[in-house]
């Protein structure tokens, strides 16, 4: 895998990742296909929305249907019918957020499956082996994802464990058969600026194909998310892609791009679609609202997605009220299209060195959120939790 | 609307309906889009499956979102994004099967909405007005759909009421603005051969654009369904389409075609899809079964549908086990494709005067069902209930 930096505009970067399954123009948003499917959509729908790469969850696929089955059926690309690039996460975040009775040791994690209660163990080496069976284009090493808030002592110990696991992941990958699969490093460090910087130094010293900023979007204040992203991005090498895991809302994407982040993933567009929310340039709307009952307009004016080209808000609301499956699908399709378009506009703005103006214009119109965002300085002070 | 009879093969007919929204080659199976959506599918999916015409339920659309709203938004075709022909039923069957506290009088039906308990009344005239607001290509008049079994006395009185309602429906249509919407008559008469013949005579005397055989597929034995279909079809005019409402399984379609029926509708392919069933030339299969866990084959060999071209049984089963929405969609897509292909093969076989051989070959391979069907003579005696 290669990463080319094509242009910059302040800290914002316009780049290009080349993977075994195709090129990814950055900044990029990756739709989440948790169990090998972006919920309610076919691979063709996902591609048609403008998505270039999808994320799949190692944790979910490990539990069901299992890596051996996916390998036997030709790997994850073939299994899910997606020919483009795939990034698989390490499962670390899900072990911490979904599993009961999880236990962390130097060796790795032990946890119970939420499906059947069976106990499983995953070491850093096994997490690499699982992702090798899946055959994803970009693998992530097992990391410890701290809850927010965490003490400095906890964050420091956790960061050290994550770095030791990263080294073992790298060794496991080198020990395996030669492969075109890339491996990213994950920067942890809790909400402490110096620990984030230490995490960057120690992870970069190991030498990865790209770097993820982990342990954020776990409930911390927005200002902290933005500032810690900036701290990590500034310290990371210029010639590698930077991936902010689990982020986020449209405004978060733009704020993080402004701080030098290249890649994002989040369930937001598809999960919120299944809760009746459509993203629009004027802010999100809830199709449940009675004001859309007779509205002949599309979900979003001037949107070129299939849902907007073919159907009215009134129809989508009717489907929603009747709990018709097509409602979830049309809203998911539109939201993915919205996120892909936002990233395409972002790339064009950076290339034209007009990203700041584009971001201000977008956030000004995307009204609700901009009221909040206006109070957050672009590179302001870290919150009180820093010390 | 016109109907041309293009070829016959025994009692089987190859025909062509021309509607304001396009041509329908018969015999034809109509997917059911109950609430203005064929569940889980877009109009493009439905068209891509080979479907030529869809059915929508007047009862459901009357209750929600209501005919005034659909008219305001440009009619049902525009509302649901389907440019092809639409047949709307009268709502009669749903009043009888879904509504609580229904009351039937000479004037029409009164019933409570299962959505909010509100009381509604529909007369034959109002049922026509609702379908005019929807703007369907083929309308159905309000009819009384008897439960099975019913006494001769009940069936006779019910048949007479249905004929009186048919006359009022026709008058209501004539009284309205001139319209290209067709109106079918519905033949009732319970399970009594002479009443079925009387229903045909009295309904045909009124002169409709086509004729439906109603009150079947309500729990009666298969032999009775086939025989009563034959009785009605034999008595109906050759130059009008014959539509067997609510039927049915693949074997039922072929048996009814053999008896002179041209049109069918049923929720079977889509409802069974959502229950994990895929139709195949070798009989239906349940994707829930463990034997498909590692099966790399498509749902059906040699099927050209999107689901079969792109995905394995193992993947569809994985989606099913994980309750992923895409499972319902892929199975629905495949099943509609299966039904459309069966009807296309039927049309070709009739045109080539080889329908009998085609039917025998199909049923021989479609193994499970053929064991049952083998015991039913093509034009055998009516069951004991006839007398």
**Per-residue pLDDT reduced to its tens digit, A292-347:** 999 999 999 999 999 999 999 999 999 999 999 999 999 999 999 999 999 999 99
Chain mean position to CA B166: 19
DSSP strand E in chain A: where? Answer: 2-9, 12-19, 22-26, 28-30, 54-56, 86-88, 100-104, 109-112, 119-122, 138-139, 182-187, 210-213, 241-244, 263-265, 277-278, 285-286
Asked if A294 and B69 come within 8 Å (Cβ–Cβ), the reply is yes
d(CA A27, CA A242): 9
pLDDT < 70 stretches in chain B: 367-387
ipTM, two decimals = 0.93
Work out whether strand B119-122 and strand B12-19 pair parallel, antiparallel, or are unpaired: unpaired
**Cβ-based contacts of A79 with chain B (< 8 Å):** 312, 314-315, 318
Q: What does the CA dihedral A90, A93, A94, A96 come to, rounded to 10 degrees?
A: 130
Return the pLDDT at B95: 87
Specify the 3-state DSSP secondary structure of A164.
helix
Asked if B35 and A64 come within 8 Å (Cβ–Cβ), the reply is no
- And the tokens for A153? 């002592």
Return the pLDDT at B96: 81
Could you tell me the CA-to-CA distances from B238 to B27, B211, B241, B263 in Å, in that order?
14, 11, 8, 14
> Would you place residue A387 in the very low, low, confident or very high pLDDT band (cuts 50, 70, 90)?
very low
Nearest CA-CA partner of B210 in B85, B296, B387, B297: B85
Give the closest-approach CA distance of A359 to chain B in angstroms: 35
**Cβ-based contacts of A37 with chain B (< 8 Å):** 319, 324, 326
CB contact at 8 A, B59 and B86: no
Give per-residue pLDDT as tens, A52-86. Answer: 999 999 999 999 999 999 999 999 999 999 999 99
**What does residue B329 show for φ and ψ, rounded to 5 degrees?**
-70, -45
- And the tokens for B56? 């929508």
First-to-last C-alpha distance (Å) of chain B: 38
Catalytic status, residue A89: yes
Predicted TM-score (pTM) of the model is: 0.94
- And the tokens for A113? 């499956």
Could you tell me the CA-to-CA distances from B45 to B37, B152, B302 in Å, in that order?
11, 44, 19
Tell me the catalytic residues of B: 89, 265
d(CA B337, CA B359): 18
Could you tell me the CA-to-CA distances from A177 to A132, A181, B46, B296 in Å, in that order?
10, 11, 46, 25
- And the tokens for B299? 């749902």
Q: Which residues pair with A23 in a beta bridge?
A: A18
CB contact at 8 A, A51 and A336: yes
Contacts across the A-B interface (CB distance below 8 Å): 104
Give per-residue pLDDT as tens, A100-142. Answer: 778 999 999 999 998 999 999 999 999 999 999 999 999 999 9
Search chain A and give the residue with CA nearest B42. Answer: A326
Nearest CA-CA partner of A162 in A120, A119, A212, A210: A212
């Amino acid at each position: 895998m290669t990463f080319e930096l094509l242009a910059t505009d302040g800290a914002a970067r316009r780049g290009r990742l080349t993977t075994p399954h195709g090129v990814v123009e950055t900044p990029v948003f990756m739709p989440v296909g948790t169990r090998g499917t972006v919920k309610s959509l076919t691979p063709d729908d996902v591609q048609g929305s403008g998505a270039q790469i999808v994320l799949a969850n190692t944790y979910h696929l490990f539990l069901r249907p299992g890596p051996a089955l996916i390998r036997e059926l030709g790997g994850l690309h073939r299994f899910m019918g997606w020919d483009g690039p795939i990034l698989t996460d390490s499962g670390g975040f899900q072990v911490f957020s979904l599993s009961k009775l999880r236990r962390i040791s130097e060796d790795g994690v032990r946890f119970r499956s939420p499906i059947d209660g069976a106990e499983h163990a995953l070491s850093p080496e096994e997490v690499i082996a699982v992702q090798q069976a899946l055959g994803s284009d970009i693998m992530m090493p097992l990391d410890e994802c701290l809850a927010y808030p965490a003490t400095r002592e906890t964050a420091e110990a956790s960061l050290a464990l994550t770095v030791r696991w990263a080294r073992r992941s790298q060794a496991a990958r080198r020990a395996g058969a030669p492969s075109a699969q890339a491996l990213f490093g994950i920067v942890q460090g809790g909400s402490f600026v110096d620990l984030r910087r230490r995490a960057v130094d120690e992870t970069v010293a190991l030498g990865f194909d790209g770097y993820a900023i982990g342990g954020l979007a776990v409930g911390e204040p927005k200002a902290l998310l933005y500032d810690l992203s900036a701290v990590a991005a500034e310290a990371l090498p210029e010639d590698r892609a930077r991936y902010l895991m689990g982020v986020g809302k449209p405004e978060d994407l733009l704020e993080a791009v402004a701080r030098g982040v290249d890649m994002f993933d989040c369930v937001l567009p598809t999960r919120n679609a299944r809760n009746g929310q459509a993203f629009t340039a004027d802010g999100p709307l809830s199709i449940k609202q009675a004001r859309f009952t007779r509205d002949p307009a599309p979900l979003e004016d001037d949107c070129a997605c299939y849902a907007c080209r073919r159907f009215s808000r009134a129809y989508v609301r009717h489907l929603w009220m009747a709990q018709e499956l097509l409602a979830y699908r049309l809203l998911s399709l539109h939201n993915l299209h919205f996120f892909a378009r936002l990233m395409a506009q972002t790339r064009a703005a950076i290339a034209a060195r007009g990203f700041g103006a584009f971001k201000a214009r977008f956030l000004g119109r995307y009204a609700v959120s901009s009221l909040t965002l206006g109070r957050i300085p672009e590179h302001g002070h870290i919150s009180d939790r820093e010390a």
